[in-house]
Structure 1
Amino acid sequence: MMLFPAVIGHQGRLFLVGLTALLLSSFAACAAGIYLGSASDLIALIPGLMVLVPPSINMRGSISGAMASRLSSSMHLGEFEIDFHRDSVLGANTSASFLATVLLSFVLGFFAWAISGLLGIKGMGVADFILISVLSGILSGILVILIALVTAAVSYKKGIDLDMIASPTVTTAGDIITIPILVMTAVLVIGIDPQIRFLVLTAVIAVTVAAFIFYLCKLRGSSYVILKEIVPLLIPLSFLGVLAGIAYVTDIGTLITYAVFLVLIPPFMGGCGSIGGILCSRLATGMHMGELSPSVIPTREVFGHFGQSYLYSFILIPVLVLTVYYASMMLGLDSPPLSLLMVICITTGLLVITLVNFIGYFAASMSFRYGLDPDNFGIPVITSFIDLTGAALLVTVINLLL
C-alpha cells in the first residue's frame, strides 16, 4: 500500500508538484488572512460581514474549483483544446461558471440576511447583504474564473497534471481576491445614499432574473448540463457556508481579541480545502479513466490517496502556523503562545483531513455510481464541508485549549 508516495518515480513527482502548489498557495493565502486581521475593527462594527466571509470564499472555490476539475478530466480524456466556442469545453465551462456565480451570489446574500436576522445578528439589512454578495461575487468570480482558465491553459501547454495544481491555485486566488473585494464592497454599499442603493439593488435583481431566465429558456448543451448539476447542489451548500460564518460570529470576541486567528482562517481553511480538492480531483479523474472503482469500501489505491492527504497536512500545517504566527507578531496582532497555536491547528487539521478523506470519496463514488459527474460534486461538497465543520472544530478546539 503506497501511503507515503514521496519517492523517486512518477508518483513521487506528482506528490512534489502538489506539495509545491500547496506551499506556494498557502503562503499567498496568508496575505488574505493578514487583510482580514487588519479589518478586525470593521468586523467588530459590522458582525454581519463575517457571516459572508466563509460562504463567499467557498463559492469562488466551489464554482471555479469544480470547473478546473472538469477541465482536468477533459485533458485526461483527450477532449480539451484551447477554444472558447459556445459548445467547446472551455466555452461551456466558462459560461456555466459565470451564470452560476450570479445566481448563487444572490441566493447567498438572501440566506445570510435570513439566518443573521433569525439569530439576532444586526448591522446590515437584506439590501445590504444581497448587494454586497452579488457585487463582490461577480467581480471576484470573474477574476477567479480567469485565473482558473489561465492555469488550465498553462497546464495543458506545459504538460502539467492539472489535478495537482488546480485546487491550490484556485482556492488561493479565491482567498486573496474575495476577501479584499468583499470588505471594500461592504464599505462602499453601506456608505452610499439610500436612494442610490435602491437603484443599484433594482439593477442587481434585474441581472439575476435575466440570468435565471437565460438558464431556464436559452441555455443548452454542455453549459446547461453543468448548471443543472451544480446549481441545485450549491444552493444548500451555500446555506452550510453561511452557518460556518455564524460559527465564527458566535465567537467573534475571541477572534478579535486574538487577531492571529483572523489571519489564520483563510490560509488554514484554504490549505485544508486544497488538500481535499487535490484528493477529489484525482478521484474523479481515476473514475473517469476507469482506474478507480466507485465501490462502497475504498480500495487500496484510494487509501494511497488518503495517505497523501495526511502527509500533505503534516508538512503544510506546521509551516503555515509558523508563517501566520510571525506575521502576526510583526503586525502587532495578539496571539496565544506559538506552542499552543501549533497544537490547536494540528489537532483541528488532522480531524478535518480525516473527515475530508472519507466524505470526499463518498461524494465522488456516489455521484459516479448514479451517472453524475464527480467533478461537479467532490470539490463543492468538500469545500463547503470544510467551511462548516472546520469552523465548528476550530472554534471548539480554541475554546477547549485557551
Structure 2
Amino acid sequence: MKHNSADYIELSIHNNEDNDDPPDRVGHDEDILEKDQEYQATAALLTDVESNHSTDEFVIYESNENKPEPKHENTLAIQALPSLIISVIGLVLAGNLMDDFQHWDVFLKTTELFILLPILLNLKGNLEMNLAARFSTSSNLGELDYGPTRRSLIVGNLALLQVQSLVAGAIAGVSSFALGLITKPGSSTSYYEMMYMTASSMVSASFSSAILGIFMCALIIICRKFDVDPDNIACPMASSTGDIVTLVLLATSASILQNQMESIFSTLIFLIMLGLIPIFGLIVWRNSHVKDLLFAGWTPIILAMVISSLAGILLEAYVEQYKGVALLTPVLIGLAGNLGSIYASRISTCLHSETKENYKVVEYTLMAMNIPVQVVFMVIIWAFGMGQLQYNVWFFLSYFMISMVCTWICLKIGKIMSLTFWRMGYDPDNYVIPYLTASIDVIGTILLVSVFTLLTSTGAADMSMTERAANKHN
C-alpha cells in the first residue's frame, strides 16, 4: 500500500486507565472485539490516505491529547552509526571464527555441525532481535520507568527467551541431523550422534540467550536512563554480539560433549534441557506482560528458517565458484537487515505509542548511513587482503550498488510489513524481523551472485575461482 500524500502517519490504540501499571502491549481476550474494531478503523483511514491529495505535512487521525513526544530523526545517525560499525566488525569476526572452526577437530569429526551453524544462528538471531525490538518498545512507552513493571518485564522476557531458545535449539539440532542424513545418505549415523547434535545445540542456545538477554535488557535500560532511543541501537547490537557468542558456545559445548558421544551423557543433557522448558514456560505463563507471547510468533521464526535455507543453498552452490562470496554475503545482508530492523523497530514503537514517524527522513538517513559503514568494511578487508578479491573500480562500484539496493529493499519491506501486521492485529515487534531478515538473505545472495557473474563474463573484474581451483589441483 502506498501512502503518497503523507510522510507522517499516526495510528491510535485504546488507552489503559490503570494508573498503577503501564499498559500491556498485547491485548487480552476481553479486548479482542474492541481492538478488532480499532484495527478495521485504522485500515479504513489508511485507505483514505491514498486518495487524499492535500498538501498537509502530516496526517493526524485522532486527538493529540496525552500523546508521547515524537522521536527526533536528527539523533538517528548519531546514535545508530556506532552500533552499525560495531555490527559490521562483529560480522567479520564471526566469519573469521567460522573459518577457524573448519580446522577444529570437533568440526572435522562431525561435519553436520557446519549444517547446524547457519540454522542455529538464524533462529537465535531472530529471537534476540525480537527481544530487542519488544523491549525497546517497552522502554519508549515508559514501562521501564516503573520499578515493579520493569522487573516483571525483565524476568518475563528472559524466561520467554529461554523457552524460545531451547525449542529453537532442539529444532536446529534435529533439523541439521536430518539434513546430514539427506545430503550424505551413505554415512554412518547413530542415535548417539543425534543426541549429541541436539544437546550441543540446546546448551549453546540456552547459555547464549541468558548472556545476550541480560546484556540487551541492561543496554536498553541504560539507553532509557541516558535518553538514547534504543530502537536505533538495540537490534544491530543484538545481531553483532549474538553470532559471536553463539559460535563460541556451540564450539565449546560440542567439544566437551564429543568425548562422551557414545554414552548416554548427551541424552541426559538433552532431557535436562527439555525439562527446563516447562519450568521457564510456567514463569512466562504467570507473567501478565508476556503471557500471550508464549504461543505467539513461532510461525515467522520457523518460516524464516525455511526461507533462509534457500539462501544457504544458493550460497553453498556459488561459494566455491566466485571469490569473496563467503566474505561479502554476511556483511551485505547483515547490514541491510540491521538497517531494516532499526526502521521496523522505530515504526512499531510509533504505532504502540501513537506518535508520528517521518518516513522519508528516516529512510534517507538510514540509506545514507549504509555508505560510511560499507566504506569501513571495504577498508578493513582491503587492508588485510581478505577474500583474495580483485579490488578495482568496477568491483567497488558494483558492490556499493548492490548494498544500496539491498538496503532500500529492506527498508521498504520493513515499513510495509510493520504497517500490514499492525492492521491485521499482530504486534510487529514479534512478526516483522524474522521475515525481514530471511527475505533479505535470499535477495542479497541472488543480487551478489548475479553481479559477480556479470563482472566475470564482461571481463570488468575476475571474480571466478576457476583459475585458483585449477592451480590447487595442479
Q: What band does the TM-score fall into relative to the shorter chain? A: 0.7 to 0.9
> 2:202 matched to 1:148?
no
Do the aligned partners of 2:130 and 2:433 also contact (CA within 8 Å) in 1? Answer: yes
Q: How far apart are the structure 1 equivalents of 2:117 and 2:397?
A: 25
Residue 296 of structure 2 aligns to a residue whose secondary structure is helix
Q: Could you tell me how far apart the structure 2 residues matched to 1:261 and 1:137 are?
A: 27
- For 1:253, what is the secondary structure of its paired residue? coil
Q: How big is the shift at 1:145? A: 1.2
The aligned residue for residue 423 of structure 2 is 369
Aligned to 2:317: 250
- Is 1:234 the equivalent of 2:291? no
Query: Aligned-pair distance for 1:116?
Result: 4.2
Task: Confirm whether residue 390 of structure 1 aligns to residue 444 of structure 2.
Answer: yes
Moved more, 263-272 or 274-283: 263-272
Residue 301 of structure 1 pairs with residue 358 of structure 2: yes
165-174 vs 268-277, greater mean Cα deviation: 268-277
Match among 74, 84, 92 for residue 12 of structure 1: 74
Instruction: Name the residue aligned to 2:128.
Output: 64
For 1:151, the aligned partner's letter is L
The answer for the alignment partner of 1:99 in structure 2 is 163
Q: Does 1:165 align with 2:233?
A: yes
Is 1:334 aligned to residue 378 of structure 2?
A: no
Question: What does residue 274 of structure 1 align with?
Answer: 338
TM-score by length of 1: 0.81
What's the offset of the Cα at 1:210? 4.7
1:208 to 263, 274, 277: 274
- 1:380 to 1:227, Cα distance in 2 relative to 1, 3 A: farther
Verify: 1:192 aligned to 2:254, yes or no. Answer: no
8 Å CA contact retained: 1:268, 1:320 = no
Distance 1:252 1:188, change over 3 A: farther
Deviations 1:337-374 (A, max 9, x none): 35565345324323322331222123211221122211
Is the 1:243–1:388 Cα contact (8 Å) retained in structure 2?
Answer: yes
Shift of 1:103: 0.9
CA contact (8 A) 1:33 1:263 kept: yes
1:31 aligns with 2:93: yes
Does the aligned pair in 2 maintain the 1:263–1:328 contact within 8 Å?
no
Structure 1 or 2: larger helix share? 1
Superposed, which structure 2 residues align to 1:103-114 within 5 Å? 103-114=167-178
- 1:222 is aligned with what amino acid? H
SS in 2 for 1:156: helix
User: 2:268, 2:114 → 1: CA distance?
Assistant: 25
CA distance in 2, matches of 1:261, 1:325: 15
Name stretches of at least 5 consecutive residues in structure 1 with no aligned partner. 3-8, 293-299
Q: Give per-residue Cα distances to partners, 1:309-348, cap 9 Å, x unaligned.
A: 321222322321221232345xxx6334355653453243
Q: Which runs of 5+ in 2 are unaligned?
A: 1-5, 8-70, 456-462, 464-474
Per mean C-alpha deviation after superposition, the further-off stretch among 77-86 and 272-281 is: 77-86
Aligned to 2:381: 324
Q: CA deviation at 1:68?
A: 1.7
AA of the residue aligned to 2:200: I
1:281-325 alpha-carbon deviations (Å, 9 max, x no partner): 111111112235xxxxxxx93343332332122232232122123
Q: 2:249 aligns with which of 181, 203, 212?
A: 181
Letter aligned with residue 99 of structure 1: V
Q: Which amino acid aligns with 1:335?
A: L
Contact 2:284 2:291 in 1 (8 A): no
Contact 2:162–2:280 (8 Å) recurs in 1: no
Identical aligned pairs, as a percentage? 21
Q: Go from structure 1 to structure 2 and tell me whether the alpha carbon gap of 1:113 and 1:30 turns closer, same or farther (over 3 Å shift).
A: same
CA contact (8 A) 2:340 2:411 kept: yes
Paired with 1:71 and 1:373, the residues of 2 have a C-alpha distance of 13
- AA aligned to 2:89 is F
Moved more, 216-225 or 269-278: 216-225
**Would you say the 8 A contact 1:368–1:374 is kept in 2?**
yes
Query: Separation in 2 of the partners of 1:46 and 1:251?
Result: 23
**Residues 71, 368 of structure 1: CA spacing in aligned structure 2 closer, same or farther, 3 A cutoff?**
same
